[in-house]
Amino acid sequence: MTKKIVYPGSFDPVTNGHLDIVERAAKIFDEVIVSVFCNPNKEPVFTMDERVEMLKKSTKDLHNVKVDSFSGLTTKYVHSIGGEAILRGLRAVSDFEGEFQMASMNKHLDEEIETIFLMTDTKYAFLSSSVIKEAAYFNGNIRELVPDFVYQKLRNKFKAKK
């Protein structure tokens, strides 16, 4: 049996913290599906297609990683593609409460699907897509926190808005 896990998120944009989680999960699971979630509560900087493209480019060397997108309940999506678990990254203790609540709700919705947590590398513990976007907007140095092509996309995106 192939062990398939889904790593859902908005990935707006993908960061090196996200990629740390993906790379480590790829060593543990047979197949990792990184799936861009359409979150109705967020106004993304990048389109769904742009985010999928950035993830595909970022994970192209990881042969057991696939990139997808979805909207709706994560548990229904995971079940529809034959996944066994949901992968969530934890940066700090402050993430735990919200992630615990989400994992509990997902378990209520589908008791067959587990949630697996991985701690990100401590050098990325402060990192989030929101922090990256804010720093990029004000022309902060984020080169070591995102892939090079994501850095360029952010610069171009915010240059166009100003």
Which value, in Å, is the radius of gyration of the alpha carbons in the chain? 15
| Residue 145: band (very low, low, confident or very high) from pLDDT cuts 50, 70, 90 | very high
Query: So which residues are the catalytic ones?
Result: 18, 42, 91, 129
- For residue range 42-99, list pLDDT tens digits in order: 789 999 999 999 999 999 999 999 999 999 999 999 999 999 999 999 987 778 888 9
Domain count, the chain: 1
Percent of the chain clearing pLDDT 70 (strictly above): 97
Let me know: does 118 contact 25? Beta carbons within 8 Å: yes
Annotated binding site for substrate: 10, 42, 74, 88
Q: Domain of 43?
A: 4-160
Let me know: does 87 contact 25? Beta carbons within 8 Å: yes
Annotated binding site: 10-11, 18, 42, 74, 88-91, 99, 124-130
DSSP 117: E
Q: Please, which residues have CB within 8 angstroms of residue 116's CB and are 6 or more apart in sequence? A: 5, 85, 86, 87, 88
Q: How far apart are CA 81 and CA 103, in angstroms?
A: 19
CATH number of the domain at 112, please: 3.40.50.620
The region that residue 87 occupies, defined by phi over 0 for left and psi between -120 and 50 for alpha, beta otherwise, is beta
Render 37-92 in DSSP notation, one character per residue.
E--TT---SS-HHHHHHHHHHHTTT-TTEEEEEE-S-HHHHHHHTT--EEEEEE-S
Let me know: does 128 contact 94? Beta carbons within 8 Å: no
Q: How far apart are CA 98 and CA 63, in angstroms?
A: 31
Annotated binding site for ATP: 10-11, 18, 89-91, 99, 124-130
The model's pTM? 0.93
| Residue 1: band (very low, low, confident or very high) from pLDDT cuts 50, 70, 90 | low
